[in-house]
């Protein structure tokens, strides 16, 4: 079953920042890692990822530096800043609240939970 | 929509949407590396036309380019530009007005003052549109070019009172040039750090040859601060704490040499004594301080001071260099303390604004260059104000107010700092790699013609 894109689009910054929480990555690695962690559910286009990363850099949530990837190839790595970690915590909390609310509605509402 | 099959076609389509030309190569470099990774991955899986598949994975180049275009726009520095021009215009007016009836010292001609202001604005714009990242790719060239210019200036231009005045102006660029030199030495271990320190020696020698005590002190102070920053960023790759060893040793050596000079030559000791206790040599080294203090005592909050029936000539006789290093004293005497405070506060706002913006820069090279400019302006302003308040130790021009040529130089330096802020969204540390795409691409195809 293919996911509705509008369901994913709002959560992409959260997912990308969550990936960076564990360590610094470059763009291609992020797409592969996201695909692997989501069992091939999230297939992020590079054309979506890079404007998003540059936007996060603009806001100060991530910083970028040039590092060496496999075989000494230079790549642009992204690092989650302290400000980015704070923003990630807020986004995670908001997402959890949203997911719980959707779940409750889908199950019939708070009044009917457990009925 | 035309079909994009090759990586270069795709990048060209994205690049066409990015209006700021300087941003294109920087942004496209990252996309190109991604496309190469994706192409290699498809090729490793044994898929056909891996490059075409990689391009298809990227998404629509027009919408990607349009989004990147919105993110990477130059950031105009209207506020700082306006403040610089306003202060330079005020400085030009003051230079003309304060010296209009001088007969002993140089009375500025209106045409010279206006010419200096116009050239200063051009220098400001030249610096503003200059790409500091490009300068950072040729640090050795910038360094050797400036060194050569100062040596030529020392040899060609005549000395006045034993001082090579034009070379003094070149020496004010040394902190910026040293920032570029330091940037060029990064990532090269102990050897790089030793080269970074040794690079300061010829510049210091030029300052001593001029001679320009303020230029030397500025170079040593700015160089040491920048070296500490380089150590904090571990630029040489030898560890943060180890990076402090050589600069600390060099600083200790310079300090020991200065102390030895104070004790052995007597000249520096006499200068210090005259600055702190001018009354000990009232007709010699202490003369300037004593006269400045006398003038300040009879100055008013607003309006010309009263020398007790004295004319402009008597003021000129009293205060040495009242058209240059003591121009602020002339300002206080002829117009009052309030105009002086306004000028000083305006420059303080400009320098603090520059330094605050400098701290927020993404690019470390940009941060160093802006810091070098900020320290140059701050050092000049502090020494000039101290001199004009009676602490006559180091003579320096007050930025944007003293001297036509000096104003042109100061505006050029400020323009350079503003160009750092303007291009911050595309600032990148590229480890010496040139980031560029060819402006013109030639496509050559060979066809075999069957006879």
Which residues in A lie closer than 8 A to residue B425 (C-beta atoms)? 58
Question: Which chain A residues have any C-beta within 8 angstroms of a chain B C-beta?
Answer: 26-28, 45-48, 50-51, 54-55, 57-58, 63-66, 73-76
Which among B37, B38, B67 is the nearest to A51, CB-wise? B67
| pLDDT at residue A73 greater than cutoff 90 | no
For residue B253, what pLDDT is reported?
93
Domain A11-106 sits in CATH 1.10.10.10: yes
Domain assignment of residue B448, yes or no: no
Chain B nearest-CA distance from A101, in A, is: 32
Mean pLDDT of B209-215: 93
What pLDDT, on the 0 to 100 scale, is given for residue B36? 92
d(CA B6, CA B183) in angstroms, rounded, equals 36
pLDDT at A114: 47
On the question of pLDDT at A108 being above 90, the answer is: no
Do residues A48 and A84 make contact, with C-beta atoms less than 8 angstroms apart? no
Rg from Cα positions in chain B: 27
Is B450 among the domain residues?
no
Residue B439 resides in a domain:
no
Query: At residue B86, does pLDDT exceed 60?
Result: yes
Same domain, B130 and B253: yes
Residues B165 and B44 in one domain: no
Mean pLDDT of chain B: 89
My answer on whether B148 and B32 are in the same domain is no
Which of these three, B22, B45, B71, is where a domain ends?
B71
**B59·A48 Cβ contact <8 A:** yes
Pick from B120-124, B164-168, B259-263, B276-280 the range whose average pLDDT is largest.
Answer: B120-124
CB within 8 Å: A66 and B34: no
Quick one: pLDDT band at residue B311, thresholds 50, 70, 90? low
pLDDT at B310: 59
Of chain B residues 150-169, which have a CB less than 8 A from chain A? none
Query: Would you state the pLDDT for residue B125?
Result: 96
Residue B302 has pLDDT above 70, yes or no: yes
ipTM for the predicted complex comes to 0.85
B61 at interface of A, judged by CB pairs closer than 8 A: yes
Closest-CA distance, A67 to chain B, in angstroms, reads: 9
Q: Which domain holds residue B130?
A: 78-426
Q: Quick check: is B160 in a domain? A: yes
Residue that terminates a domain, selected from B49, B71, B93 = B71
Q: B292 or B307: which carries more pLDDT confidence?
A: B292
Same domain, B33 and B170: no
Task: For residue B321, name the pLDDT band (cuts at 50, 70, 90).
Answer: confident
Evaluate if residue B32 carries a pLDDT over 80: yes
A47 and B61: CB-CB below 8 Å? yes
Any chain A CB within 8 A of the CB of B58?
Answer: yes
Is A45 in Cβ contact with B57 (below 8 Å)? yes
Q: Quick check: A111 pLDDT over 80?
A: no
Residue B428: pLDDT band with limits 50, 70, 90: low
Q: Is B441 a domain residue? A: no
Better pLDDT: B95 or B432: B95
Mean pLDDT in residue range A29-53: 90
Residue A97 Cα to chain centre, angstroms: 17
List of residues 6+ apart from B312 with CB closer than 8 A: B101, B102, B103
Mean pLDDT of B232-238: 91
pLDDT at B440 over 50: no
Q: What is the CA radius of gyration of chain A?
A: 17
Q: Report chain A's mean pLDDT, rounded to a whole number.
A: 86
Q: Is B32 on the interface with A (CB under 8 A)?
A: no
Q: How much is the pLDDT for B434?
A: 42
Is the domain of B51 the same as that of B108?
A: no
Q: Does B365 touch chain A (CB under 8 A)?
A: no
pLDDT at position B265 is 75
Picking from A28, A63, A64, the nearest residue to B37 by CB comes out as: A28
Closest chain B residue by Cα to residue A68: B431
Structure tokens at B258: 């200065």
- Rounded CA separation B82/B84 (Å): 5
Residue B3: pLDDT above 60?
Answer: no
Q: Which among B30, B64, B71 has CB closest to A47?
A: B64
pLDDT at B160: 84
Least confident interval from B21-35, B98-112, B407-421: B98-112
Contact residues, chain A, for B30 at CB < 8 Å: 27, 50, 76
Say what the pLDDT of residue B231 is. Answer: 93
Identify all chain A residues contacting B33, using CB atoms and an 8 Å cutoff: 26, 28, 73-76
pLDDT given at position B168: 93
Mutate to test the interface with B, among A43, A48, A51, A71 (most CBs of B within 10 A): A51
Instruction: Give the pLDDT mean for B39-53.
Output: 91
> Quick one: pLDDT at residue B444?
54
pLDDT at res. A115: 41
CB-closest option in A27, A54, A73 to B68: A54
Find, in chain A, the residue whose alpha carbon is nearest to that of B430: A66
Which of residues B20, B53, B71 is at a domain's end?
B71
User: Which two structure tokens, joined as six digits, stand for B164?
Assistant: 């090579």
Same domain, B381 and B420: yes
Q: Is residue B211 part of a domain?
A: yes
Share of chain B above pLDDT 70, in %: 92
Selecting from A48, A66, A73 the residue whose C-beta is nearest the C-beta of B430 gives A66
Average pLDDT over residues B145-169: 92
Residues B148 and B201 in one domain: yes
Q: What DSSP designation does A109 have?
A: -
Whether residues B34 and A28 touch (CB distance < 8 A) is answered with yes
Tell me which chain B residues have a C-beta less than 8 angstroms from the C-beta of A64: 428
Higher-pLDDT residue of A81 and A43 is A81
Model confidence pLDDT, tens digit, residues B325-349: 999 999 999 999 999 999 999 999 9
User: Are residues B144 and B42 part of one domain?
Assistant: no
Whether B218 and B324 map to the same domain: the answer is yes
pLDDT of residue B161: 83
Q: Report the number of distinct structural domains present in chain B.
A: 2
B215-224, B263-272, B305-314 — most confident range: B215-224
Residue spans of the domains in chain A: they are 11-106
């Amino acid at each position: 079953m293919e996911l509705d894109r509008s369901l994913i689009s709002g959560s992409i910054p959260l997912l990308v920042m969550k990936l960076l929480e564990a360590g610094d990555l470059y763009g291609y690695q992020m797409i592969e890692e996201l695909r692997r962690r989501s069992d091939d559910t999230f297939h992020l286009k590079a054309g979506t990822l890079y404007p998003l990363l540059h936007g996060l850099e603009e806001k100060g949530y991530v910083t970028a530096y040039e590092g060496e990837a496999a075989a000494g190839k230079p790549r642009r790595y992204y690092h989650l800043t302290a400000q980015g970690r704070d923003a990630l915590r807020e986004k995670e909390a908001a997402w959890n609240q949203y997911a719980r609310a959707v779940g409750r509605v889908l199950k019939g509402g708070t009044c009917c939970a457990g009925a | 929509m035309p079909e994009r099959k090759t990586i270069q076609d795709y990048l060209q389509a994205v690049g066409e949407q990015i209006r700021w030309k300087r941003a294109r190569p920087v942004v496209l470099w990252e996309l190109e590396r991604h496309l190469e990774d994706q192409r290699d991955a498809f090729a490793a899986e044994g898929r056909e036309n891996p490059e075409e598949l990689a391009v298809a994975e990227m998404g629509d180049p027009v919408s990607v380019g349009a989004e990147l275009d919105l993110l990477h726009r130059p950031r105009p520095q209207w506020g700082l530009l306006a403040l610089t021009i306003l202060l330079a215009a005020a400085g030009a007016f003051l230079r003309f007005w304060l010296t209009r009836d001088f007969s002993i010292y140089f009375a500025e001609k209106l045409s010279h003052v206006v010419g200096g202001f116009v050239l200063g604005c051009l220098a400001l714009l030249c610096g503003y549109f200059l790409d500091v990242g490009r300068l950072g790719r040729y640090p050795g060239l910038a360094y050797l070019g400036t060194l050569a210019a100062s040596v030529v200036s020392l040899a060609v231009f005549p000395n006045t009172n034993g001082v090579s005045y034009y070379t003094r102006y070149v020496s004010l660029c040394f902190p910026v040039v040293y920032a570029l030199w330091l940037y060029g030495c990064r990532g090269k271990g102990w050897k790089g750090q030793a080269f970074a320190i040794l690079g300061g020696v010829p510049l210091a020698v030029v300052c001593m040859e001029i001679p320009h005590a303020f230029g030397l002190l500025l170079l040593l102070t700015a160089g040491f601060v920048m070296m500490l920053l380089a150590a904090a960023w571990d630029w040489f790759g030898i560890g943060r704490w180890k990076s402090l060893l050589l600069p600390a040793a060099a600083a200790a050596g310079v300090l020991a040499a200065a102390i030895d000079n104070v004790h052995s030559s007597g000249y520096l000791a006499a200068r210090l004594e005259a600055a702190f206790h001018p009354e000990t040599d009232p007709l010699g080294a202490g003369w300037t301080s004593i006269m400045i203090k006398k003038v300040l005592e009879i100055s008013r909050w607003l309006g010309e001071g009263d020398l007790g029936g004295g004319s402009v000539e008597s003021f000129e006789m009293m205060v040495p260099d009242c058209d240059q290093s003591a121009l602020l004293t002339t300002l206080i005497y002829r117009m009052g303390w309030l105009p002086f405070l306004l000028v000083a506060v305006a420059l303080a706002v400009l320098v603090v604004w520059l330094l605050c913006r400098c701290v927020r820069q993404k690019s470390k090279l940009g941060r160093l260059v802006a810091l070098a400019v900020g320290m140059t302006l701050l050092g000049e302003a502090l020494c000039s104000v101290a001199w004009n308040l009676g602490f006559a130790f180091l003579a320096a021009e007050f930025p944007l107010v003293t001297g036509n040529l000096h104003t042109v130089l100061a505006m050029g330096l400020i323009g350079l700092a503003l160009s750092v802020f303007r291009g911050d969204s595309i600032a990148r540390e590229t480890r010496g790699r040139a980031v560029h795409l060819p402006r013109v691409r030639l496509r050559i195809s060979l066809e075999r013609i069957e006879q």
